[in-house]
Amino acid sequence: MRSLLAFIGPKTLSEPMLPLRFSLDWSLGLMLYGTVITWLMRAAAHSSPWQEYLFWGGLPLLFLPLAARAAWPGVAAGERLIHLIVLAELSFLIKVLFWPINFAQFDEFLHWITASDILEAHKLFLPNSMLPISPLFPGLEVVTTALANLSGLPLFVAANLIVAATRGMFIAALFGFYTRISGSARLGAIGSLAYMGGSSYVMFDSQFAYETLALGLVGTILVAHVELSAAGADARRTLTVLGLLAAAVVVTHHITALEVLSLLTAVAMLQALARRARWRLDLMTAALGGAFMAVWLHLIGNPLSDYIGPVLDAGVSQLLPMLKHAFAGSGGGSVASAGRASSRQAFVAADGSHTPVWLQIPMIVALPVTALLLANGFLTALVHARGIGLTDPGGGWRGLVDLIRLRWQRSWMLLIALLALTWPMSVLLRLTASGWEIGNRLSGLSFLGVGIVIGSSILHWWQRPEQWFAATLAGLALTVIFTGGVVAGWGLPATHIGYKVEGDALSIEPMSIDAAAWTKQWLGIGNRFAGDRCNDILLGTYGRQEVITSLYDREDSGALFRHPTLSPWDREIIQTDRLDYLLTDLRDSTARPYLIGYFNEPTDLTPLDPRNLMKWDDAPGVSRIFDDGWISIYDVRAMRHAP
């Protein structure tokens, strides 16, 4: 028991007085090293069997040296920041090099549609049937199209420049935020490295998507808040700066805006409980951000309940039976059945393909490593919130008593450390079929707390350069967490493992792109199309067609491809949705979908019957106007206008 209490108990954080040095040799050398490793990770051809080993073997080789130098004792804060920014940009580059000629990830196509609408029509809030909520939060698209218009750059190049700048801005802001609330640049660097181990950081937060820009703005809000407080800025300056930043987040991404407003409100409440001097100003800041959010939702019609509500309801409804099953054991009866039905099998895609065991190991190891570091550093981070300097002689268990008595001076440190408690929930949600998306989004928020707690843990037992064993353990732990996060958030699709049916980025290939581009050249733009999920995003971007979806049109176009004969229901869908053309892809009959489903609603994962897709050849009034062997396009305008 004493050993356990010593392991999890609060410790005094301290750093020896070492001379801080900025080494230009290390900075330039590691920058060159990281660039070469990144190039080697993507050097193999798409069809090469070596590409997986190069990518996954290069990932820890890229991270470990840069992370070790950024976390090393005695390194100047400026050099730590350089290594963090280099890591942030190189981790973005490995995503870009997956498909360097254009967008490849599913969410990027959705925002590509919105940005293209703004460029072509010079208007905001034009409908986007693939993601109806995207035009209502156009912050990312406004910035990107502005850069494209001013510079003449293609949209793809402008988008990548914006994302690259955003990632650098975020990691610099996170480092500054951690440094200010903890009083240690080294703890700030280690915490930032640990944050990179979140499942959403390398791939999801590198996409051309509204959450990417919003995350960079959130980092800026956090560091601006603590810097303004430290400088004792007056109310006018504080409200102006933070109000403008909060407004920018509000018009950029809904969920991120709710998260940052919750953080601002929570820290104001903690300030009030501790009777800190600026608690009223902090509460005014949160109220101002909330007012911006309320006004914006009122102007756009408050779509969040319809958009977020079903996702939350499905995730929670599947998580609860799974937890009941876990506690009930084998005697759970119907509860056990519900738990098995709601859970998703780890490392198994929707089509039944398995992740290789050698690739599962980093994620499996990352979970207990993260848990051990959190257990070791959580109470230490909490107690550190009460002190003034880095070395707090009043720490230890007595410091927890002071927290209970509402005696703390670092409200942000306390709040961010408490956020680490949400990490287990994010892991559990990823085990449910409907809660996977919620868990992935929650990862970014929970790792704000995970970063500062892991930083507190490592800073305690690795203090001097000559502690080689501690340095090795710290470097390996951070590397395992980073690699495991990439596996959890990206997995096998991080490399080109061949075409996959409805595999998002793995389904983007020249034949489908050519078919979509053909529609724009020969049919014109703005025709109403129905097709499968991955061809829809290509039709909306390369083809500039209007795709019907259940999200926007409230009709499931998949019904048109599930029955072997033409039915009155098919005619009704075509006429109700004013369809012009249908696109069928016979590859949908060759395998189950790799990720979600064939259409916008994953109602059936059974491979489609090719006879159902080819029934339109014999349908009266329907013409097949395009056929490349797999993909066919049918003109159904005559049926649409038939009585």
3-state secondary structure of 223: helix
Q: What are the tens digits of pLDDT across the range 239-271?
A: 999 999 999 999 999 999 999 999 999 999 999
Q: What are the tens digits of pLDDT across the range 510-554?
A: 999 999 999 999 999 999 999 999 999 999 999 999 999 887 876
How far, in Å, CA of 282 to CA of 188, rounded? 23
Give the CA angle between residues 410, 411, 412 to the nearest 5°.
95
Calculate mean pLDDT across residues 559-572. 87
In this prediction, residue 335 carries a pLDDT of: 38
Say if CB 317 and CB 438 are below 8 A apart: no
In this prediction, residue 85 carries a pLDDT of: 98
What is the DSSP secondary-structure string of 466-518? T-HHHHHHHHHHHHHHHHHHHHHHT-GGGS-----TT-GGGG--HHHHHHHHH
Taking Cα atoms as reference points, which of 145, 323, 134 lies closest to residue 214? Answer: 134
Q: What are the tens digits of pLDDT across the range 15-41?
A: 788 888 999 999 999 999 999 999 999
Q: How far is CA 194 from CA 384, 419, 446, in A?
A: 18, 14, 12
- Please classify residue 2 by burial: count the beta carbons closer than 10 Å to its beta carbon, then call 0-12 exposed, 13-18 middle and 19+ buried: exposed
With a cut of 80, say whether residue 421 has pLDDT above it.
yes
In this prediction, residue 323 carries a pLDDT of: 58
How far, in Å, CA of 416 to CA of 461, rounded? 21
Query: Which pTM does this prediction carry?
Result: 0.93
In this prediction, residue 505 carries a pLDDT of: 93
Calculate mean pLDDT across residues 560-575. 88
> Mean pLDDT, the chain, as a whole number?
89
Say if CB 54 and CB 44 are below 8 A apart: yes
CB atoms within 10 A of CB 100: 11
For the record, the structure tokens of 159 come out as 């988008």
Domain ranges of the chain: 504-641
How far, in Å, CA of 441 to CA of 446, rounded? 9
- Please classify residue 17 by burial: count the beta carbons closer than 10 Å to its beta carbon, then call 0-12 exposed, 13-18 middle and 19+ buried: exposed
Q: What are the tens digits of pLDDT across the range 479-500?
A: 999 999 999 999 999 998 889 9
Q: Give me the helix-helix angle, 185-195 and 436-461, nearest 10°.
A: 150
With a cut of 90, say whether residue 143 has pLDDT above it.
yes
Residue 635 pairs in a beta bridge with 581, 623
